[in-house]
Structure 1
Amino acid sequence: MGEPVDERGIMDGRLALELAGTIRHDGSGRVADDLDGAGGTARWLASVAALLPDGAPARVDEEIHAQVVTLRGAVRALFARAVAPGPPSPADTHLQPPADEALSLLNAAAARQPVVPRLRWEGPDVPSVEYAPGGGCPDAVAALARAAIVFLDGPERDRLRACTAPSCARYFVQAHGRQQWCGTACGNRARAARHYRRHAAART
């Protein structure tokens, strides 16, 4: 594939968290999907356009929607691997591909870019990434895949956690060692649920 080139840092790894976060808690106990159909995917891509090297695509059809949803499943499967032995987000583990298939999906999507990052993750070792010239054309799906590779190869991977609040589907980067939840609302909900369980147990 030619001489390796270093593209580390060009892609914003925050996109990976944003993509994984399109499955989220809707505030009423249900899990919501921001990529609901081509329209939902178009709106989400527009919302993160500033993080995409070429902006949001002008048109999002069902094929692009399906590609982004497939990539999200791969990213969340690899996030679940990254947080192990801690618990993964329970929202969609039954829908995710196996880790080796997720790795192949991620690398195949990234290979659609002119510069190709390839993620390696063998056995118990930490993942590593190499960059080499590719032959594809820039697109939003490839940019999202590249962002996930940058994130999984970076220092924030070790602080990635699944939020433990009831019904939350989010992954987040831990700001301090005791952080269990992705935000204040989830923390309040988790504490309320714990309080309710204690009182319910005391009444039995």
Structure 2
Amino acid sequence: MSALEFVSTVRATRTGLTDLLSDVQGMTAWGREHAAELGVDPDFTASEELRSEVVELRQAVRALFARAVAPGAASDADAHRLPDFAESLDLVNAAALAVPSAPRLEWPAGQAPRARTVPGVAATESERIRATLATSAIELLAGPRREQIRVCPAPRCVLYFLKEHPRQEWCSLGCGNRARAARHYRQHRDG
């Protein structure tokens, strides 16, 4: 599971912010879409408690991403909704530690052996999901790619992205086009 995919469950649309995890149905659909990465059954069904815990973790990860892009500004569209940095750091670490994992060797008949990461302790579905998401965020934020994390500066965009090219400024071509159009409009309106 990509930490960027997780934090991108909040995005801007023409009508405002859209939260893919705003209700149990959205959380269920997103969980099913990412069932393999999250280690849940394809017929996964979220509860309100699980959804609330995952959204709280997402906001904490977004706060850590905001810190990672510092001294640049966090996303203007949701910076005011992000929790405190220290609280966010504690929450992410606690979520990852709640379900220690270990490699497990599997050797199916007639196939090559493979390692699979499995929970080292019994855990609830919510704990397993949050541990997976928190671990993904920790790996990105503690790894060499952290330096590539950027916040999209396009109007109303709330997405974080990895800067893959030296000239890349936006999360997508669409955001780049909107930013250029907004700049063009301001120049002609003010000039």
Please indicate the TM-score interval, normalised by the length of the shorter structure. 0.7 to 0.9
Please tell me whether the aligned partners of residues 112 and 134 of structure 1 are also in contact (alpha carbons under 8 angstroms): no
In 2, distance between residues paired with 1:19 and 1:161?
15
Distance verdict in 2 for CA 1:168–1:177, change over 3 Å: same
- The corresponding residue for 2:86 is 100
Shift of 1:53: 3.8
- The corresponding residue for 1:185 is 174
1:36 to 22, 43, 48: 22
Matched residue pairs, number?
Answer: 172
Cα deviations across residues 71-129 of structure 1 (Å, max 9, x unaligned)?
0010000000000011211122111111110001101111221239xxxxxxxxxxxxx
In 1, distance between residues paired with 2:178 and 2:34?
28
Shift of 1:55: 5.2
- The corresponding residue for 1:90 is 76
Q: Does 1:171 align with 2:160?
A: yes
SS at match of 1:191: helix
- The corresponding residue for 2:5 is 18
Q: Structure 2 counterpart of 1:152, which letter? A: L
Percent identity over the alignment is 47
Where in structure 2 are the equivalents of 1:119-198 lying within 5 Å? 135=121, 137=123, 139-198=128-187
Please tell me whether the aligned partners of residues 99 and 128 of structure 2 are also in contact (alpha carbons under 8 angstroms): yes
Cα deviations across residues 5-31 of structure 1 (Å, max 9, x unaligned)?
xxxxxxx5x2x10111011012x1511
Please tell me whether the aligned partners of residues 31 and 44 of structure 2 are also in contact (alpha carbons under 8 angstroms): no
- The corresponding residue for 2:55 is 69
Q: Structure 2 counterpart of 1:93, which letter? A: A
Shift of 1:49: 2.2
Distance verdict in 2 for CA 1:93–1:193, change over 3 Å: same
In 1, distance between residues paired with 2:152 and 2:166?
14
Unaligned runs of 5+ in 2: 103-118
Higher relative contact order (CA 8 A, sep 6+): 1
Q: Structure 2 counterpart of 1:22, which letter? A: T
In 2, distance between residues paired with 1:107 and 1:136?
18
Cα deviations across residues 141-183 of structure 1 (Å, max 9, x unaligned)?
2111111111111111110000000010100000122211000
TM (normalized to structure 1)? 0.78
Shift of 1:32: 0.8
Please tell me whether the aligned partners of residues 32 and 44 of structure 2 are also in contact (alpha carbons under 8 angstroms): no
SS at match of 2:18: strand
Shift of 1:54: 4.4
In 1, distance between residues paired with 2:11 and 2:146?
20
- The corresponding residue for 1:59 is 45
Distance verdict in 2 for CA 1:194–1:29, change over 3 Å: farther
